[in-house]
Amino acid sequence: MERRVRIVVYHARQCDPKKCTALKLSRHGLIRIVSQLRFLPKRAIVLNPFSETAFSPADRQRIEQHGLVALDCSWEHAEKVLSGHVRGTSRCLPLLVAGNPVNFGKPTKLTTVEALAAALIIAGFEEEARELLSVFTWGHTFLDLNGERLGKYSTARNSAEVVELQKTFMYSVRKS
């Protein structure tokens, strides 16, 4: 049997538990939730919207070996949570559009499951990403909105190429 990607989510308990995508994934046994930053795996890739390095397919090996981490906290408190010492290697996701009902169509306002799925697809773990998204009725919407972008990002060799692709997408949005 193929080894699954180790996915850990730091849950800051700042959201409505009934709407929290991380808690729902945990209830389905797809991720592990921790409530303290010190319990995050050491050399994992940490999805951090304030990182200066873009997530890319080059991060695949680190994800395979050490895991993928997301931080589930409200956007209002994200910077405070992330300013504390977070173990692992921080990466920000490139430009993507939310497909969830709360922030539908808003660039970069992704739920935890959308962020995890995007990272998994870019790193080449599409099956795992689809499994996470399948838990939500709107999961396919995220893929419908971002399929082209995710496909292109997943062909990049490194972070710099991802940033160049992102610039192309941003330019094409401005033109239309």
Report residue 46: phi and psi, to 5°: -110, 120
* DSSP codes joined into one string, 61-126: HHHHHH-EEEEE--TTTHHHHHHS---SEEEB--S-B--STTTTT-BT---HHHHHHHHHHHTT-H
- The reply to whether 43 falls in a domain is yes
Quick check: is 149 in a domain? yes
Asked, for residue 1, whether it belongs to a domain, the answer is no
Number of structural domains in the chain: 1
Whether pTM > 0.95 for this model: the answer is: no
Q: With respect to residue 2, please indicate whether it lies within any of the assigned structural domains.
A: no
35-91 pLDDT, tens digit per residue, is 988 898 999 999 998 889 999 999 999 999 999 999 987 666 666 666 666 778 999
- Domain-located, residue 163: yes
Helices 139-153 and 126-133 cross at an angle (nearest 10°) of 160
pLDDT the model gives residue 1: 33
Q: Is residue 129 assigned to a domain? A: yes
**Residue-number span of the structural domain to which 134 is assigned:** 7-175
User: Cα–Cα–Cα angle for 140, 16, 27, nearest 5°?
Assistant: 60
20 in any annotated domain: yes
